[in-house]
Amino acid sequence: MKTIYLDNNATTRVDPRVFEEMQPYFCDLYGNPSSMHAFGGQVGSKITEARERVAAILGADPTEIIFTSCGTESDNTAIRSALESQPDRKHIVTTKVEHPAVLNLCKHLVKKGYHLTQLGVDENGRLDLDELRSAVTDNTALVSIMWANNETGTIFPIEEIAHIVKSRGTLFHTDAVQAVGKIEIDLNKIPVDFLALSGHKLHAPKGVGALYVRKRTPFRPFIIGGHQERSRRAGTEAVPSIIALGKACDVAFENMSIEQNEVRELRDRLEQGIINSVPLTIVNGDESSRLPNTSNISFKFVEGEAILLLMNELGICASSGSACTSGSLEPSHVLRAMGVPFTFAHGSIRFSLSRFNTKEEIDFVVKEFPPIIERLRAMSPYTEE
């Protein structure tokens, strides 16, 4: 059975060009970039190139890039650094729809004595910027707001948000894990202090990420040890993965128009195909400001895990915000924050595409998916009510 992979916000296929670029650095060019010999040194210059490539996709300077192990580490580093560098400030502002990498850290910090304000969202997942304006005080150490939401694809107006936060003299962090490589980001124009990104969301392997830290933003390292990353992130560099991340950023930068055009077209074809043939559906998220690859659709009266299991029988991979798939008993915190009714929230499916998807795949899903919902609705006690 052929796999149709529509779960690219969970993780992506490593691009063969990326894989090719990293391959020599396992068995042949395995030197340590910190070594004093040329065998290690040649690896160091390749890391420099990777740093330049990551900086390029962000509109940043290479000295502003720190390589990390993942998006979560980047988020943790940024938030903890902001708190440690401003010990007198005890307040954090974030949103109700952040990724657990930010949300659960913030909740943990509440237990350590910090105050937390979580901004709400409207039914389309949009923030109220006046609420942000009134939330930030002199005691606020950091505002952390994601660039784009992983579940619905809703893009927040980060430029405007960054200007609001900076006008108050507060540090600003953005979790851009879902945004980098899919939409244009230019930190020359947008005054964020910290930005987190993850390799495996943009066709690099799992286990590598990066943190952007603006020049002159106070910084305290999270992992302390050797002098790697100019002592901002100790630990021997994950050389092949860092080289892969650089190449992935390079490819993504060149292919940005594919995301904006071809991928968006496929996503719209899928979304329209499904909502035109399945009754009682809603599209979750801000359709006017959304990642080009993401579609989150709720199906009334059916439960998400059951949908995914039947999709799995056809080789179609996606995600759900239902309680049963999250390992918790409540549906997605993002959909609940948006006020999506429970009758819809338990039956939400997130399709997330990539440049590797084809029109044939989408047409197959548009044809095979509606009977899945019909079949489950026929079994549901609520359908006829």
Partner 1 sequence: MWDYTDKVKDHFLNPRNAGKIENADAVGEVGSLACGDALKLFLKLDDEGKIEDATFQTFGCGSAIASSSALTEMIKGKTLDEALEITNRDIADYLGGLPKEKMHCSVMGREALEAAINSYRGIPIDTTALEGEVVCECFGVTDKQIRKAIHENDIKTVEDVTNFTKAGGGCERCIPDIEKILAEELGAKANTSGPATSNKPLTNLERIQLIQKVIDEELRPALQADGGDLDLIDVEGKKVIVSLRGACSNCPSAQITLKDGVEGRLREMVDPEIEVVEENA
Which positions touch partner 1 (CB under 8 A)?
301-306, 309-310, 313, 322-325, 327-331, 342-343, 346, 378-382
Is 317 part of the annotated catalytic residue set? no
CB of residue 343 vs partner 1: minimum separation in angstroms? Answer: 5
Residue 207's nearest CA partner among 239, 181, 173 is 239
The helix/strand/coil state of 157 is coil
Taking the least distance from each CB to partner 1, the nearer of 18 and 376 is: 376
CB of residue 346 vs partner 1: minimum separation in angstroms? Answer: 5
CB of residue 25 vs partner 1: minimum separation in angstroms? Answer: 30
Taking the least distance from each CB to partner 1, the nearer of 199 and 304 is: 304
The helix/strand/coil state of 349 is strand
The helix/strand/coil state of 6 is coil
Taking the least distance from each CB to partner 1, the nearer of 33 and 304 is: 304
d(CA 154, CA 162): 17
Which DSSP category does 304 fall into?
H
Structure-block tokens of residue 365: 């899903």
DSSP string, 244-269: HHHHHHHHHHHTHHHIIIIIHHHHHH
Is-contact 385 333, C-beta < 8 A? no
Taking the least distance from each CB to partner 1, the nearer of 33 and 331 is: 331
Taking the least distance from each CB to partner 1, the nearer of 92 and 376 is: 376
CB of residue 78 vs partner 1: minimum separation in angstroms? Answer: 21
d(CA 86, CA 288): 37
Taking the least distance from each CB to partner 1, the nearer of 218 and 341 is: 341
Is-contact 302 322, C-beta < 8 A? no
Q: Which of 70, 106, 317, 324 is catalytic?
A: 324
CB of residue 170 vs partner 1: minimum separation in angstroms? Answer: 29
CB of residue 220 vs partner 1: minimum separation in angstroms? Answer: 23
Helix (H) or strand (E) holding 373: helix 359-379
Q: Which amino acid is at 253?
A: F
Residue 214's nearest CA partner among 55, 52, 47 is 55
Taking the least distance from each CB to partner 1, the nearer of 39 and 382 is: 382
- Within 13 Å, how many C-alpha atoms sit on residue 24's CB side? 8
Please give the radius of gyration of the chain, using alpha carbons only, rounded to the nearest integer: 21
311-336 residues labelled b (16+ CB within 10 A) or e (exposed): beebebbbbbbbbbbbeeeebbbbbe
The order of strands in the sheet holding 348-352 is: 281-284, 294-299, 348-352, 319-320
CB of residue 81 vs partner 1: minimum separation in angstroms? Answer: 22
Which residues are catalytically annotated?
324
